[in-house]
Structure 1
Amino acid sequence: MKNIGTFLIGIFAALVILSMSFYTVDQREYALVFRLGEIVAVKDKPGLYFKVPLVDDLKKFDNRIITLDWEEPAKFNTSENKYMMVDSFVKWRIIDPAKYYVSIKEGGEAAAEDRLSKVVNAGFRAEFGKRTVHDVIAGERTAIMDNLRKRADAEARQIGIQVVDVRLKRVDYSEEISKSVFDRMIAERKRIANQLRSEGSAASEKIRADADKQREVIIAEAFRDAQKMKGEGDAKAAEIYSSAYGKNPEFYAFYRSQEAYKNSFKSKSDVMVLDPKSDFFKYMRSSSGR
């Protein structure tokens, strides 16, 4: 019975030791094998591996892309000595787990991101410091991100990290600059509005003056045409009168006298002092005027 117990204990111990001798590496991770504190193997392929139990230690690292996203925007100065608020993020991954572990020791991912933050911020200061506000906001944003990625990647590889991408999510003016920009925009809009009002007023005066001029021209031409037509009518009437008078001068003289009498004695209160023998009354004395 005692031998059976010993045998079972031996089998159990062997199983424990055997289980401690094998380990698996997932496709999403790296594995470092340590022996007496020194790295003896780096496993970057997925599979089942052997290690010396109770002698070798194992440490695993994530090989996927990690996002470093700052909680608060950072402030950087441009070549015009104006501060800009920059919100960005970095995509990075471990490519050399041995160098990565030696560089950060026991600090882990937080230590790696701290060093990466310093590298990226230094790059931001360098890139913003040689550009204007316009270049940073619109003109050269793509160039800034490319330069930052290359610079950060070159320095990050010294600690076993690859910088996959650096992106600017938002670039905005600082509070004091924003107020200045808004005030300048308001002043510019007011200037444009005043200019448009002035141009509109000038155009209005020009249109009004042109309309008045056309009105005067139209009235003058109408008066000229009316006078011309009136003159033509008077000439035609005179021609008709002359023609009629030439046909029967005596009747024309009689008719005109009758018209003169009618106009002269239109009202009972009219008074005329004339010699009865005057020519004016000749047709009253005789129908022949004698």
Structure 2
Amino acid sequence: MRKITLLIPILLVAVVVALSSIFIVDEREKVLVLRFGQIKQERIEPGLGFKVPLLDEVVRYEDRILSLETPVIEVTPADDRRLEVDAFVLYRISDIRQFRQALGAGGEFQAAEQLNDILDGQIRAVLGSQGVTSNTILSPERAGLMDQIRNRADNRAKALGLDVVDVRLRQTNLPEQNFDATLQRMIAEREREATDERARGREAAQRVRATADRTYEEILSEARRDARIIEGEADAERNRIFAEAYGQDPEFFEFYRSLSAYEQSLTGRNSSMVLSPDSEFFNYLRSDQGAVAKQAEDAQ
């Protein structure tokens, strides 16, 4: 009986020691086993682990993606328009050994402060770099800037055992005290751009009008030249035809010319003419010339 009484406390102590030497690693965490501050084990897979009771300490770290919201910071892009921005960051602890050595017992709170300082510097560096204007920050190119911030912050954070998964710029606002001045400067710039655009438009319109006028003159001069050539050819053809007709029957040709002259001169309201009585104009209207005209008509 006395042996049983002594055995029960021994068994209880053994059970307590055995239980205190076992720890469980959850799938959402990573574990370091420390002995007097020195790392003895690193467990990143879920399951059971063992440690020396009373001597070893189990320190647990999140294996899930963590988030961080940076405070509002003021940046000055290349166009000197000051902006207030803040960011939302996703990160995770990738190397718990490096994390412990870099931050000690500070853990995730100390990591958030260190990461916030890293992001503050990288946001200022990227958004304040040459060629990055406020319009760039507010344009679709914003995604490329966020990728640059993430890459640069990730390179710095690896020294802390952290991986920066993503960085998103949230608010991008003008400082309240600079809003009116910035607005007026933007209006002035837009007016200048509009004036330049109108000037370029007027210049282009003048070039188009000048080209059109030159083309018009060239076409008109070519048309007049072609018209004169055609008129000359037509006159030459007419004269050739008249010459051939005159050569075939000069008397009939003279008769025909006289009739045409009578037709043109004796039409209209005023048909009065002052001529000498022996003028040749009315030769074919005299009785002695009538027979000649009749003979010419019969010959045709």
Tell me if both proteins adopt one fold, taking TM over 0.5 as the criterion.
yes
Q: Which residue is equivalent to 2:109? A: 110
Query: Closer, same or farther in 2 for the Cα pair 1:252/1:124, shift >3 Å?
Result: closer
Aligned partners of 2:77, 2:16: CA distance in 1, in Å? 62
Aligned partners of 1:264, 1:233: CA distance in 2, in Å? 26
Q: Which residue is equivalent to 1:49? A: 50
- 8 Å CA contact 1:25–1:31 kept in 2: the answer is no
Q: CA deviation at 1:70?
A: 1.2
Q: Which residue is equivalent to 2:298? A: none
- What one-letter code is carried by the residue in structure 1 that aligns with 2:68? D
Q: Which residue is equivalent to 1:159? A: none
Q: Which residue is equivalent to 1:91? A: 91
User: 3-state SS of the aligned residue for 2:132?
Assistant: helix
Aligned partners of 2:79, 2:270: CA distance in 1, in Å? 103
Query: Closer, same or farther in 2 for the Cα pair 1:217/1:25, shift >3 Å?
Result: same
User: 3-state SS of the aligned residue for 1:95?
Assistant: helix
Aligned partners of 1:263, 1:116: CA distance in 2, in Å? 110
Q: Which residue is equivalent to 1:204? A: 208
User: 3-state SS of the aligned residue for 2:208?
Assistant: helix
Q: Which residue is equivalent to 1:214? A: 218
**2:223 is aligned with 1:224:** no
Aligned partners of 1:179, 1:223: CA distance in 2, in Å? 64
User: 3-state SS of the aligned residue for 2:286?
Assistant: helix
> How many corresponding residue pairs?
270
Offset from partner CA, 1:52-97 (integer Å, 9 cap, x none)? 3xx4574431263643431655434468765453525263423257
User: 3-state SS of the aligned residue for 2:66?
Assistant: strand
**2:21 is aligned with 1:22:** yes
Gaps of 5+ in 1: 157-161
Q: CA deviation at 1:212?
A: 2.3
Q: Which residue is equivalent to 2:69? A: 70
Query: Closer, same or farther in 2 for the Cα pair 1:24/1:235, shift >3 Å?
Result: same
Q: 2:247 aligns with which of 243, 246, 251?
A: 243
Aligned Cα root-mean-square deviation (Å): 5.0
- Matched ranges for 1:1-290 at <5 A: 10=9, 13-14=12-13, 16-26=15-25, 28-32=29-33, 38-39=36-37, 42-45=40-43, 47-52=48-53, 55=54, 58-62=57-61, 64=63, 66-70=65-69, 74-77=73-76, 83-84=82-83, 85=85, 87=87, 89=89, 91-93=91-93, 94-96=96-98, 99=101, 102-104=104-106, 108-122=107-121, 124-125=123-124, 127=125, 131-132=129-130, 134=132, 146-154=151-159, 156=160, 162-165=161-164, 167-170=166-169, 174-175=173-174, 183=187, 186-187=190-191, 190-191=194-195, 193-246=197-250, 249=251, 270=271, 280=282, 284-286=286-288, 287=290
- 8 Å CA contact 2:69–2:86 kept in 1: the answer is no
Q: CA deviation at 1:213?
A: 0.5
Aligned partners of 1:41, 1:277: CA distance in 2, in Å? 149
User: 3-state SS of the aligned residue for 1:109?
Assistant: helix
Q: TM-score if structure 1 supplies the norm length?
A: 0.63
Q: CA deviation at 1:30?
A: 1.6
Query: Closer, same or farther in 2 for the Cα pair 1:239/1:199, shift >3 Å?
Result: same
- What one-letter code is carried by the residue in structure 2 that aligns with 1:198? R
User: 3-state SS of the aligned residue for 2:129?
Assistant: coil
Query: Closer, same or farther in 2 for the Cα pair 1:23/1:216, shift >3 Å?
Result: same
Aligned partners of 1:100, 1:269: CA distance in 2, in Å? 125
Aligned partners of 2:254, 2:102: CA distance in 1, in Å? 137
Aligned partners of 1:237, 1:17: CA distance in 2, in Å? 140
Gaps of 5+ in 2: 293-300
Q: TM-score if structure 2 supplies the norm length?
A: 0.61
Aligned partners of 1:269, 1:76: CA distance in 2, in Å? 99
Moved more, 112-121 or 258-267: 258-267
Q: Which residue is equivalent to 2:295? A: none
- What one-letter code is carried by the residue in structure 1 that aligns with 2:97? I
- 8 Å CA contact 1:152–1:163 kept in 2: the answer is yes
Query: Closer, same or farther in 2 for the Cα pair 1:13/1:100, shift >3 Å?
Result: farther
Aligned partners of 1:39, 1:173: CA distance in 2, in Å? 44
